[in-house]
């Protein structure tokens, strides 16, 4: 007799007609009979399909068994689907569930998942060609974590043979089981079934688990899947990892990027386990991998990099990642076929040093532990990148990594005079930018200071006490900010850079400026230095490069120097070029035409040596010099190694220093010949004589002068070689247009340190 239980235990031997007569049996029952041999037999007169289904909720820790005899050759028109689980009683239409396919074109005994009308093979049978005139049993088991086993046994065999295993929890519950038959007219009575056994537990809806930020993290990304390395299908995928000890139902969760969100279908990610996400159309290709789900459309994983994040069903951000093609650490693997894997899933920094290319020979580890997995804690303290005024009543503070949100939102961690904090917001999903809103307006002519204390990054590394200034910037005029140092020929693996210096007494906004160049003499539009208001205070430096971190790894950058990565960074050729600082409207603020020949003669190899301005308040090409070797040949973001202050004494002409050593050590490398005439309309002739009265160097001839300035002697003679150690006489002649002449003879010493 057919049991009335809808779960726990079903056993049917087809000893009489009670199965077909039961109110718990559905379908085209008139196309089946219980024959004299006590079997359920297909009994039709024409080609078609027929099914019987019955109530069954068994899905967890479940076992399904069925004896099947087919007295026919199986094909695309002759097969059996033994439905283990289904959410619909009509097995001929759209449903969600699992079935064993017996027969079909592939003559298979395989396990399929069906979602709607899409049928996806998740276990491919081990043995082939056994379904023609099939006479045997199939057996399927599934545990609570979605681990499936499919076995078969022919009537001539004593034991079951394991056909395959998989993990799949795409469909969580069942309402019905049943048998579906597709047949041709000649085979309309040749299908027989017996020994139907089902046991197991029904799915119990679990209370909703509260999911916190970072409970789930991005574990692996297959961004560029071709060329295929081994067995992993050549399609993009995203792998998530559940860091908790609780199963999380992902129904209603979303992946998101800057263009849209992508809904995740009903699926569960088990404790300390993985979820593999691919395009819905590719789920079948990944059927042999654990816990696969599909979304459509699938986000495009841009080769160069992209920001992705995960939201729960209430749109709370759970995790994020912003990968880059540099994360592979291998040009070969970046070319395709290898995934990016997280090294330490407990490291929540999202820093590049916690990701690298897979080391698995298959090219990745979808659904299993990453091949590069090891302890790799984040121990680097966070830094503040910049502060910008975002409105009349708010400022933005930018950090170099994800911060602890609780500390960011605590108003007690901030101190500021003359302004009252109203509230604080963080910028999602990265939590590396905050906006602080004030009750009062930020006023002109005020320079504010705000202190930050008790902050940590997401890993608990302290920021330390920081004090930052901000003010309403003034209009930038020519020479307010100047080009102060240029690296145009970096060492191998290095980056070109430009240093700017605010020589005015004003607060300036770098977002009003563009760094540019000239091409065949024509001024180019250049690159905007900042898209948001970014302040540069009087006497401050800013470092501009394609990668400031690389620059600061090769040179000692100034403490707290502002660093801005510019992309694209303007082109500055090695031999010579033009560095131009312009406004958004391309008004020139400062310009420097450099040449490799401007380096000091002691610099035999200029690779990795910057040119520095000697004094940012003085103009002219002779106001530049090679950075000294004592500073490492560059001082990005710090006072230049060759800096010399103007003489404050009230003199007409003077030398500084009077003893110099042109060895490019950064200490008195050249002789400065200062003048202060108090008026224009003078020309100058300056010559250097040795102790024997021989002219060794002509510094200038009939040069038109401003009212004050400086000439320099780098110790070279007119032949371009360094003069001998000794005493030298500087002959200076100032000639006015009315014929008046001023003559001076000053002595200096060329020495060695």
pLDDT tens, residue by residue, 460-519 = 999 999 999 999 999 999 999 999 999 999 999 999 999 999 999 999 999 999 999 999
Dihedral sign of CA atoms 575, 580, 584, 586 in order = negative
Which residue from 199, 200, 177, 180 is spatially nearest to 88, judged by alpha carbons?
177
- Between residues 55 and 623, the one the model is more confident about: 55
Alpha-carbon distance of 219 to 592, in angstroms, equals 48
Which residue from 83, 140, 149 is spatially nearest to 114, judged by alpha carbons?
83
Residues 349 and 226 in one domain: yes
**Whether residue 600 has pLDDT greater than 90:** no
pLDDT of residue 564: 94
Look up tokens 């009939």; give the residue.
702
Max avg pLDDT among 43-52, 266-275, 703-712 = 43-52
Domain termination residue (choose one: 401, 433, 465): 465
| Cβ(63)–Cβ(9) below 8 Å | no
Residues 43 and 186 in one domain: yes
Q: What tens digit of pLDDT does each residue of 672-711 get?
A: 998 888 787 788 999 999 988 899 999 999 888 877 788 8
Strand 292-295 with 161-167, pairing? unpaired
**Whether residue 628 has pLDDT greater than 90:** no
Q: Considering the domain boundaries, does residue 373 fall inside one?
A: no
- CATH at 279: 2.60.40.1260
Q: Considering the domain boundaries, does residue 252 fall inside one?
A: yes
Q: Considering the domain boundaries, does residue 647 fall inside one?
A: no
Average pLDDT, the chain: 91
Q: Considering the domain boundaries, does residue 238 fall inside one?
A: yes
| Cβ(497)–Cβ(547) below 8 Å | no
Which residue from 86, 101, 272 is spatially nearest to 181, judged by alpha carbons?
101
Domain termination residue (choose one: 434, 465, 496): 465
Structurally, the chain folds into a number of domains equal to 5
Residues 130 and 197 in one domain: yes
Look up tokens 């003893």; give the residue.
659
645 band by pLDDT with thresholds 50, 70 and 90: low
Domain termination residue (choose one: 597, 631, 665): 631
| Count of other CB atoms within 10 angstroms of residue 683 | 15
Residues 189 and 254 in one domain: no
646 band by pLDDT with thresholds 50, 70 and 90: low
Alpha-carbon distance of 62 to 7, in angstroms, equals 10
Alpha-carbon distance of 36 to 473, in angstroms, equals 97
| Cβ(70)–Cβ(136) below 8 Å | no
Beta bridge partners of 98: 85, 113
- CATH at 446: 2.60.40.1220
Residues 181 and 112 in one domain: yes
Which domain does 150 fall in, by range? 8-202
Both tokens of 352, joined, read 């590049």
- Among 45-54, 262-271, 375-384, 517-526, name the one with the lowest average pLDDT: 262-271
Give me Rg for the CA atoms of the chain. 39
pLDDT of residue 86: 97
């Amino acid at each position: 007799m057919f049991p009335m239980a809808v779960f726990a235990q079903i056993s049917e031997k087809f000893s009489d007609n009670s199965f077909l007569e039961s109110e718990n049996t559905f379908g085209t029952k008139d196309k089946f009979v219980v024959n004299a041999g006590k079997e359920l037999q297909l009994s039709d007169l024409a080609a078609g399909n027929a099914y019987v289904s019955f109530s069954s909720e068994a899905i967890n820790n479940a076992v399904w068994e069925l004896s099947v005899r087919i007295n026919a050759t199986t094909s695309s028109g002759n097969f059996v689907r033994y439905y283990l689980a289904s959410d619909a009683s009509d097995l001929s239409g759209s449903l969600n569930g699992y079935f064993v396919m017996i027969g079909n074109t592939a003559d298979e005994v395989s396990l399929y998942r069906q979602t709607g009308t899409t049928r996806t093979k998740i276990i491919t049978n081990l043995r082939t060609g056994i379904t023609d005139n099939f006479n045997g049993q199939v057996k399927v088991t599934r545990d609570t974590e979605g681990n499936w086993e499919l076995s078969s046994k022919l009537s001539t065999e004593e034991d079951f043979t394991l056909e395959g295993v998989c993990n799949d929890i795409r469909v969580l519950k069942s309402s019905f089981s049943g048998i579906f038959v597709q047949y041709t007219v000649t085979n309309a009575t040749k299908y027989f079934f017996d020994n139907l056994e089902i046991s197991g537990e029904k799915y119990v809806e679990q209370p909703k688990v509260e999911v916190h930020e970072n409970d789930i993290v991005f574990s692996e990304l297959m961004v560029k899947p071709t060329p295929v390395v081994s067995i992993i299908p050549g399609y993009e995928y995203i792998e998530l990892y559940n860091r908790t000890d609780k199963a999380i139902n992902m129904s209603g969760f979303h992946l998101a990027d800057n263009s849209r969100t992508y809904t995740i279908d009903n699926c569960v990610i088990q404790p300390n386990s993985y979820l593999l996400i691919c395009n819905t159309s590719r789920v079948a290709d990944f059927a042999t991998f654990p816990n696969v789900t599909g979304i459509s459309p699938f986000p495009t994983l841009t080769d160069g990099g992209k920001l992705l994040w995960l939201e729960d069903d209430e749109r709370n951000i759970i995790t994020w990642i912003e990968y880059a093609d540099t994360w592979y650490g291998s040009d070969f693997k970046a070319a395709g076929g290898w995934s990016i894997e997280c090294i330490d899933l407990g490291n929540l920094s999202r820093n590049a040093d916690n990701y690298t290319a897979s080391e698995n020979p298959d090219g990745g580890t979808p659904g299993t532990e990453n091949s590069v997995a090891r302890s790799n804690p984040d121990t680097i303290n966070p830094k503040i990148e910049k502060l910008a005024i975002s409105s009349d009543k708010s400022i933005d503070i930018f950090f170099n990594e994800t911060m602890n949100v609780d500390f960011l939102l605590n108003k007690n961690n901030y101190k500021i005079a003359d302004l009252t904090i109203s509230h604080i917001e963080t910028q999602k999903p990265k939590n590396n930018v905050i906006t602080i809103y004030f009750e009062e307006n930020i006023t002109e002519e005020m320079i504010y200071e705000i202190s930050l204390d008790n902050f940590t990054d997401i890993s608990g590394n302290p920021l330390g006490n920081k004090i930052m200034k901000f003010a309403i910037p003034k209009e930038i005029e020519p020479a307010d900010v100047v080009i102060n140092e240029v690296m145009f020929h970096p060492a191998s693996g290095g980056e070109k850079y430009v240093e700017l210096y605010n020589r005015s007494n004003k607060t300036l906004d770098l977002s009003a400026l563009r760094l540019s160049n000239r091409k065949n003499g024509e001024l180019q539009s250049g690159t905007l230095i900042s898209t948001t208001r970014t302040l540069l205070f009087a006497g401050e430096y800013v470092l501009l490069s394609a990668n400031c971190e690389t620059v600061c790894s090769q040179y000692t950058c100034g403490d707290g120097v502002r660093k801005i990565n510019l992309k694209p960074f303007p082109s500055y050729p090695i031999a010579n070029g033009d560095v131009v600082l312009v406004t958004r409207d391309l008004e020139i603020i400062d310009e420097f035409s450099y040449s490799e020949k401007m380096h000091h003669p002691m610099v035999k190899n200029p690779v990795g040596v910057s040119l520095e301005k000697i004094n940012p308040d003085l103009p002219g090409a002779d106001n530049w010099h090679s950075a000294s070797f004592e500073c490492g040949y560059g001082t990005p973001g710090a006072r230049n190694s060759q800096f010399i202050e103007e003489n404050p004494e009230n003199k007409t002409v003077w030398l500084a220093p009077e003893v110099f050593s042109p060895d490019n050590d950064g200490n008195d490398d050249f002789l400065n010949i200062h003048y202060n005439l108090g008026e224009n309309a003078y020309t100058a002739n300056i010559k250097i004589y040795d102790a024997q009265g021989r002219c060794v160097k002509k510094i200038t001839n009939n040069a038109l002068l401003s009212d004050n300035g400086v000439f320099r002697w780098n110790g070279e003679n007119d032949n371009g070689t360094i003069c001998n150690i000794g005493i030298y006489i500087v002959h200076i002649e100032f000639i006015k247009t009315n014929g008046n002449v001023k003559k001076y003879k000053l002595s200096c010493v060329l020495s060695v340190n």
